Amino acid sequence: MSDTRRDLVIRLGICIPLVAATGFTIARASEPNLPFLLLGFPCVAVCAVVLMPNATGAASEHVRELLDLEHSGSRYLADLDAADALIDAGDLDGARRRLLETARAHPRERAAWMRLFHLTLVRMNRPDLAADALQAASELGLSPRDREMVLWAYQLFAEEVGATVGA
């Protein structure tokens, strides 16, 4: 017997009793008997994992990506809060470095770029540092829409302080 055929027989040998248990559970679900109803979902889940390991693996990979995105978003907000704390403490250069790192790590997020350009142009009155940040943004390989958003944030504060607006 080939390996794939043996694998299929083993999978079916595991799933047939589980399918039977699931069918029994569904038949008993009409009665008010909760333990039988609770048995149904685990049986179906085990059948899915046994019969389709690639599909369930792909689904778990998507869930892992979603959880990582959630973690990434909370890390982004924590970085912005840390930069705000540095600004409140008077460490403007440290806040600028932190905001630049955050903007590079999350280039599609507008808040980091807005705070960075406000800090460098308005609070620090250093158009050279803002131009360096704009140059760093152009080196990130952003989409045209994201580049336009970063340039808009730069121009917004550059016009406010009368700095030269450039790309």
Q: What domains are defined for the chain?
A: 74-167 (1.25.40)
| pLDDT tens for each residue of 75-114 | 778 888 889 899 899 999 999 999 999 988 888 888 889 9
Is residue 167 pLDDT above 50, yes or no? no
| pLDDT tens for each residue of 17-61 | 767 766 666 666 555 555 555 566 666 666 666 666 665 565 666
Whether the Cβ atoms of residue 165 and residue 158 lie closer than 8 Å to each other: yes
- pLDDT number for residue 162: 76
- Please report where in the chains the tokens 């790192």 appear, as a residue: 101
pTM above 0.85, yes or no: no
134 phi and psi angles, rounded to 5 deg: -65, -40
CA distance 14 to 3: 16
Full DSSP string of 32-98: S-HHHHHHHHHHHHHHHHHH-HHHHHHHHHHHHHHHHHHHHHHHHHHHHHHHHHHHHHT-HHHHHHH
